[in-house]
Amino acid sequence: MLWLLLWVTPARAQSDEPRPRVVVVVEAERAGLGQRLRAELMALGFDVTVEASEAAPDREQLAETAREAEAIAAIQVSGQAEGIDVWVTDRVTGKTVLRDVPVPEETDDPDERSALMAIRAVELLRASLLEVASHRPPEGEVASAPVVERVAVQTIAPEAARARLFEPALAEPSRVRIGLGPALGVSPGGVRPLGQLQLGITGLPHPRVALEGFVIAPLFPAALQGPEGLAELTVGHVGASISGRATGAGPIDFRLGAGAALTWLHIEGSAAEPFVASNEDTFVAWPFAQAHLGYVLGSTAAFIDARLGPVVPEPVIRFAEREVVRWGRPAVVVTMGSEIGF
């Protein structure tokens, strides 16, 4: 019970801290950006008021807006389609700063653009408050507060801001994906590339983990020819893999993993006289390493997969006891396709 009280008390004290107010002033058409700014600032521990205004930014007017709201700071956002101007009046350090924030080129999604611009606007307020943590903090119109001092020293690196922007896309709402695309199977040993089609289902139990099951079906056989006759080789795979995912890379979905598949080889022969033709099916194991590179756009993604590994045991194709082909050391399958998430 004593441990529980000690654990609860600090959290309760932090929640009871006074929440300094920040005023956000935006044009009516940028209401979405204003709400995103409000969410970012409230997450830092501020009380936030959002006001709509079509007036051009003015240093004195912005400071007066902060005073009237009894706020420690005011942020005004205005601009055109190519970017925004962010004005921050900070009454704790007694200064006003301005930054031109261009429209992010990382994404075309309006919500993601608003999110990134909001993060950059909040970072401008953080930068303005940094002086609070210095040995000789400036004397402003209002006193500092624990929340302000905490925010001043907890700066966010650009990489972390970018990761926060795209985190919902990587952690999905779509935790299950179905992918389809053409594949090319290659192997040294005398067989030309094989045309194939891959159908896969991927589960994302964790933002950093991907589990995949797949079927790679043959589309076009590879022809083998000799004096003894002609044979056609088709190859298919059924397998599964587990991969580690890189997060914080924006819309890029990069995975490295390993897996195994049951590989089916079908040989259909046509013999010249005096030889006798035969058909044969062989099943072998295919352990492989895998790399996946995808570009995620909402619930859809374009991807390229590559799998490489040795087939065990190694299949050997013979014409009348003459060795013609050794296949699968290693076997490589490259797939390009698209996925849809659910």
Q: Where are the domains of the chain?
A: 18-156, 172-341
- pLDDT surpassing 50 at residue 231: yes
What is the per-residue pLDDT for 6?
33
Bridging pattern class, strands 21-26 and 47-52: parallel
110-163: pLDDT as tens digits: 777 777 788 888 888 877 777 766 656 667 777 777 777 676 666 544 444 444
- What architecture (CATH level 2) is domain 18-156? 3-Layer(aba) Sandwich (3.40)
- Three-state secondary-structure class, residue 40: helix
Mean per-residue pLDDT, 240-248: 84
Identity of the residue numbered 264: W
pLDDT tops 60 at residue 83: yes
pLDDT in the model for residue 219: 93
Q: Identify the bridge partners of residue 256 per DSSP, sorted by sequence position.
A: 244, 291
Residue 276 has pLDDT above 60, yes or no: yes
Q: State the Cα–Cα distance between residues 296 and 292, nearest whole angstrom.
A: 12
CB 145 within 8 A of CB 105: no
Class of domain 172-341: mainly beta
| DSSP string across 12-23 | HHHHTS---EEE
The answer to whether residues 100 and 85 touch, using CB atoms and an 8 Å cutoff, is yes
d(CA 42, CA 122) in angstroms, rounded, equals 11
In this predicted structure, the answer to whether residue 307 has a pLDDT above a threshold of 80 is yes
CA distances from 118 to 33, 75, 113, 331 (A): 7, 11, 9, 49
In whole angstroms, give the CA distance from residue 42 to residue 28. 21
Residue 21 has pLDDT above 80, yes or no: yes
* Rounded average pLDDT over 162-186: 68
Closest CA to 224 of 276, 188, 268, 273: 268
Cα of 79 vs its chain's centroid, Å: 29
Q: Among 38-52, 117-131, 230-244, 313-327, whose mean pLDDT is lowest? A: 117-131
261: confidence class by pLDDT, cuts 50, 70, 90: very high
122: three-class secondary structure by DSSP: helix
